[in-house]
Structure 1
Amino acid sequence: MRVTAEADPGQLDLGAFDLVIVLHLRRGAALLRAVADLPHRPHLIGAVSGTDLYLEPGIDAELVAECDALVTLQAESRRALPAGLQARTRVILQSAASPQVHPTPRDDVFEVCVLAHLRAVKDPLLPAKASELLPESSRIRILHAGAVLDPGLGKRAAELSRDLPRWSWLGALDRGAAAELLGHSKVCLVPSLAEGGAAVLTEAIVAGVAVVASRVPGNVGVLGEDHPGLFPAGDAEALASILSRAENDGAFLEHLRARSRELAPRFAPPVERQAWRELLEDLERSPS
């Protein structure tokens, strides 16, 4: 097997491959078109991201129809695709390995982590707004880790981090430090306006950390429609309310943790590997 991580269509003999997987269909449109135009083309899989589905401009459905199969990270993404593409779409849940070490959260504060780069679709400043609505007695401290992808948001995050007592932006963290922050947190918060299937959700679930997330299709598809930690996207008051409840209602916090433990087996690495194996075997049995 030969694997090419990032491919420039002009630098590859695409006809020499048995399979091409295109990540991010909008950004990979040139590669999709190059493979589709080959007289004897390899099998073609398109991996659908949240930005492909939920942000404008959308995908080119006619071009994407050239894919032999599409892969989404959760069922809501499949339902968001044009009807003609849904039959060839597989849902393959993104896995995460269980942490080897389980840090003990602090007792003197109620730490909430947000792990997301600073860009508008992640709604990174909503938790800062929510922190200002918490009761004066609250011990909640929201820690946001992520790189600056939008300079305007980065400037504002730095200002708020100085001014707000319960919200801090930590900047970019390496993978180990981010995992440690997640493990020390009582709650993992995902406030995005749109998601395809956030990796941090999976990581929080397998770590047994309580999850609070915006009610957008990408989060609902991972967590389930009835997850108790969902709140309306963009609603700072609702977010402050659910965080305050998690801080003060031990039974509710344990309910959130229990839901993560219940979901965790779905995201085990062997489950994801088996799903990919079945997809590749099906493609191997079909003509390209």
Structure 2
Amino acid sequence: MQITLITPAPPGSKAGNRATAERWERLLNQAGHEVKVVTDYQGEPCDVLIALHAWRSHKAVRRFRDTFPNRPLIVVLTGTDIYDHQHRCPDDTLYSMKQADCLIGLHDLVARDIPEEFSDKLVTVLQSAEQVARRRAGPADGAFQVCVIGHLRREKDSLRAAQAARLLPKTSEITVVNAGKAHTPDWQAAAQAEQAANARFHWLGELDRRASQRLMQNSRVMVISSVMEGGANVVSEACRMGLPILASDISGNRGLLGEDYPGYFPAGDDAALASLMLRAETEPGFLETLTAEVDATAARFTPETEQASLERALALAVQRRS
């Protein structure tokens, strides 16, 4: 099929949605389809439209549905769609969800966080990561590096690990290294101020893919502290690398790591996160348990699994429109 995939993230962007669009382009091309990734849809003909973001892509959804009322439409639900825009901007967001023949959710618990009327057209597509070299054992000098990967923004609660590190005892060797572009000047100022005041915190700014992978390989634990999350691809990458994760207790993380994962902390809770980081540093058994859990989960995040899920979504969209 000829597929148009629209994403708001432009070429060259390191935003997660651009990475998703380009990875899906590759996977769908490998499956025999012809995929065109665009940031602005003007009604060009295609067999199927895949729209990343229900809210951000609602104009494209309207244009496609008005122009091609009988052709399949797939809408991908992001974290902001599910946990923000469907409540704050319901008209446009729910319009896209209603018009879609198939909705794609990026974690296993999306069904309980969207209107029940859409559950029969929801397909879960877990984002994949390529297999890379496993996490290294860590430096011999005793330093315990904790990484945070992702753009600095409100939804990610990006400085939570740095703030939690302030509560650690002086004997701790934990350092928090954050790699990500500041979403606004205010976030840049906040990161710079935290780095100046907190000896345990280092902000690297935006890194390319290889540098981000090296940071993860050289870290002992990754923190994902988001207050809302649609299904972060960095979780897939960490699991495939064998990197233990400390994650905020939200649906978007539970839907990837599982309900019984032992590394959750209440979102926004500095003391709880500091306690988990200290356990990871000082209790080898706890770190081994986290590692075993991410290793067991890694098989869910292969490119082959993601490709098969995308094909199921296409088949459902075509079936419902025919």
With the length of structure 2 as denominator, give the TM-score of the two structures: 0.85
Displacement of 1:282 after TM fit? 3.7
2:135, 2:269 → 1: CA distance? 32
For 2:113, the equivalent position in structure 1 comes to 80
What pairs with 1:131-146 in structure 2 (closer than 5 Å)? 131-146=165-180
1:163 equivalenced with 2:204 (yes/no): no
Say if 2:55 and 2:96, in contact at 8 Å, map to a contact too.
no
Of stretches 219-228 and 56-65 in structure 1, the one that deviates more from structure 2 is 56-65
1:93 equivalenced with 2:93 (yes/no): no
What stretches of structure 1 of length at least 5 have no aligned partner?
A: none
2:250, 2:70 → 1: CA distance? 37
What pairs with 1:1-288 in structure 2 (closer than 5 Å)? 1=2, 2-10=34-42, 12-13=43-44, 16-38=45-67, 40-56=69-85, 57-59=88-90, 60-100=93-133, 102-107=135-140, 108-288=142-322
Q: What is the aligned length?
A: 285
Displacement of 1:200 after TM fit? 0.8
2:120, 2:276 → 1: CA distance? 38
Say if 2:135 and 2:243, in contact at 8 Å, map to a contact too.
no
Any idea what SS the aligned residue of 1:195 has?
A: coil
Query: Which amino acid letter does the alignment assign opposite residue 74 of structure 1?
Result: H
119 and 133 in structure 1: CA distance in 2 versus 1, 3 angstrom threshold? same
Which portions of structure 1, spanning 4 or more consecutive aligned residues, are displaced by more than 6 angstroms?
Answer: none
Cα deviations across residues 103-125 of structure 1 (Å, max 9, x unaligned)?
A: 44213201100001111111112
Say if 2:109 and 2:251, in contact at 8 Å, map to a contact too.
yes
What stretches of structure 2 of length at least 5 have no aligned partner?
A: 3-33
2:68, 2:74 → 1: CA distance? 17
For 2:22, the equivalent position in structure 1 comes to none
Aligned-pair identity (%):
35
Query: Which amino acid letter does the alignment assign opposite residue 226 of structure 1?
Result: D
Say if 1:186 and 1:209, in contact at 8 Å, map to a contact too.
yes
For 2:14, the equivalent position in structure 1 comes to none
1:287, 1:54 → 2: CA distance? 28
1:200, 1:92 → 2: CA distance? 15
Query: Which amino acid letter does the alignment assign opposite residue 87 of structure 1?
Result: D
2:294, 2:134 → 1: CA distance? 17
2:120, 2:235 → 1: CA distance? 26
Of stretches 92-101 and 109-118 in structure 1, the one that deviates more from structure 2 is 92-101
Query: Which amino acid letter does the alignment assign opposite residue 79 of structure 2?
Result: G
Cα RMSD, aligned residues only:
1.6
Cα deviations across residues 187-243 of structure 1 (Å, max 9, x unaligned)?
A: 011011110011111100110111101001111111112111000000000000000
Cα deviations across residues 113-163 of structure 1 (Å, max 9, x unaligned)?
A: 000111111111211211110010001011001001121121121121122
Of stretches 61-70 and 171-180 in structure 1, the one that deviates more from structure 2 is 61-70
Cα deviations across residues 47-103 of structure 1 (Å, max 9, x unaligned)?
A: 000000112424432442111100001122222111111110001111111104654
1:182, 1:269 → 2: CA distance? 20
1:168, 1:228 → 2: CA distance? 27
286 and 193 in structure 1: CA distance in 2 versus 1, 3 angstrom threshold? closer
